[in-house]
Amino acid sequence: MTVPHHAISPFTDLKKVSGVSCLGNGHINDTYLVSFVEADRLPMVLQRVNHRVFPDVPGMMANIRQVTDHQHRKLAEWGRDQPERRALRLLPTLDDRDLFVDEAGDFWRAFDYIPEVTSIDVVKSAEQVFEAAKAFGEFQYQMADLPGTLLDTIPNFHHTPSRYDALESSVSQDLAGRGRFISAELAFARAHRDLAHGVADLMEAGDLPVRVTHNDTKINNILFDSQSGKGICVIDLDTVMTGSLLYDFGDLVRTATSLADEDEPDLAKIQVEMPLFEALLNGFLTKASAFIDPKELELLPMSGALISYELGMRFLKDYLDGDLYFKVAHPHHNLQRCRAQFRRAECILRLEREMTEMVCQRS
Ligand code: ADP
Ligand code: GN1
Ligand code: MG
């Protein structure tokens, strides 16, 4: 690991730094934990933001500033304990900016570290799923009265028909010469084209509420309190924009109802567990039942298939393009990830009726 000293010094006195290590398994940004010499000083989380993925980094940072300030206002208004552990806090540079741009044009930002937390890439229990879903439901509740509007920093981020079109365009270009390896996956994408319209068309017709949503609610974007196991803080706010509640619920279904890794190569190991879906539904509705719309409720069961299908297409597109977007550990990684998402989508579609019955019992 190359220690980014030049990016630490804008945020803090380098002489006070005792160590730097890597943090997390994100596919887009680079995250570092910077520790300090003083025994009572909490570390800081330093991130290099991927500006190929986020074309408007200052706009994205303005969104994050708006969102986190609002979260802290809400936590104060509700009298919640430990507010510093319940919402991220941006750490400005020494000259009071939320962003530092280095000579290479890389963008850096920092957050206060939240102590005594754990994060997971794969769920281990229904309690964890309940806690994660409850925290993401509460996040939407917090955002309900966000003042002002957020910038649409990645337009059409969850517009699944556009993701389908982007895939077809990559198929035509076949930039990396990998088109010959993807016939089964492409056939799956084409056969499920209708699924792509499930939410997008209703949003366009004004038949689903437009909300402020997180848009990347995978299970490792929640911090759990190490002692109690409670979901304590929603992180990774890069994609907070207007969207549908179904995107957030759907990405939770994708990542929190299966005990397999996101890139599990053995598809037989990828199953979707109804007890985990039940925990997810109960956790999410703890807060969201206060505001969820009947149409959203009706579509909760399909949302997981939609987001799994969408992400599968995104991984497939990147595989065809030559791995330009997601970090990969080996040459066929994106294809492997795509297969695992399509398998999840299939499992969820098979369980849709059971899921619908469960949702109906709750309403
Ligand atoms: P990425 O965009 O790469 O996914 P994240 O913001 O999700 O980056 O952070 C990566 C990991 O770093 C998280 O899964 C979590 O384990 C840890 N992390 C991030 N921010 C904090 C924080 N403020 N306090 C404690 N841990 C954090
Ligand atoms: C990316 O940054 P990270 O790893 O949390 C991606 C998400 C995907 C996710 C799949 C900005 O999220 O959309 O769902 O990988 N983020 C962006 O693991 O594209
Ligand atoms: Mg993350």
Q: What values do phi and psi take at 290, rounded to 5?
A: -70, -25
Q: Is the CB of 292 under 6 A from ligand 1?
A: no
CATH number of 126-362: 3.90.1200.10
Q: Is the CB of 12 under 6 A from ligand 1?
A: no
Model confidence pLDDT, tens digit, residues 8-66: 999 999 999 999 999 988 899 999 999 999 999 999 999 999 999 999 999 999 999 99
- DSSP, collapsed to helix, strand or coil, labels residue 81 as coil
Contact status, residue 109 vs residue 98, Cβ threshold 8 Å: yes
Residue nearest (by alpha carbon) to ligand 2 atom 8: 216
Contact status, residue 338 vs residue 197, Cβ threshold 8 Å: no
Residue 159 has what pLDDT? 98
Residues 6+ positions from 306 with CB-CB distance below 8 Å: 160, 195, 196, 198, 199, 246, 250, 345
Q: Cα dihedral sign for 64, 69, 75, 81?
A: positive
Model confidence pLDDT, tens digit, residues 54-105: 999 999 999 999 999 999 999 999 999 999 999 999 999 999 999 999 999 9
Residue 258 and residue 272: Cα distance in Å, rounded? Answer: 5
Torsion, CA 279, CA 68, CA 290, CA 196, rounded to 10: -70
Q: Is the CB of 46 under 6 A from ligand 1?
A: no
Q: Which atom of ligand 2 is nearest to the CA of 154?
A: 11
Q: Is the CB of 45 under 6 A from ligand 1?
A: yes
Least distant ligand from the CA of 29: 1
Distance 41 CA to ligand 2 centre (A): 31
Residue 3 has what pLDDT? 72
- DSSP, collapsed to helix, strand or coil, labels residue 113 as coil
Q: Where do you find CATH 3.90.1200.10 in the chain?
A: 126-362
Residue nearest (by alpha carbon) to ligand 1 atom 15: 24
Q: Is the pLDDT of residue 1 over 80?
A: no
Distance 169 CA to ligand 2 centre (A): 21
Model confidence pLDDT, tens digit, residues 151-176: 999 999 999 999 999 999 999 999 99
DSSP codes, 127-144: HHHHHHHHHHHHHHHHHT
Model confidence pLDDT, tens digit, residues 255-301: 999 999 999 999 999 999 999 999 999 999 999 999 999 999 999 99
Output the average pLDDT for the chain.
Answer: 97
Q: Is the pLDDT of residue 363 over 80?
A: no
Contact status, residue 200 vs residue 314, Cβ threshold 8 Å: no
Q: Is the CB of 239 under 6 A from ligand 2?
A: yes
Single pTM value for the model: 0.97
Q: Is the CB of 29 under 6 A from ligand 1?
A: yes
Q: Where do you find CATH 3.30.200.20 in the chain?
A: 5-115
Angle between helices 274-288 and 245-256 (to 10 degrees): 150
- Can you name the CATH fold of 5-115? Phosphorylase Kinase; domain 1 (3.30.200)
Model confidence pLDDT, tens digit, residues 103-140: 999 999 999 999 999 999 999 999 999 999 999 999 99
Percentage, residues of the chain above pLDDT 70: 100
Ion ligand 3: protein residues whose beta carbon lies under 5 Å: 26, 221, 236
Instruction: Give 362's pLDDT tier (boundaries 50, 70, 90).
Output: confident
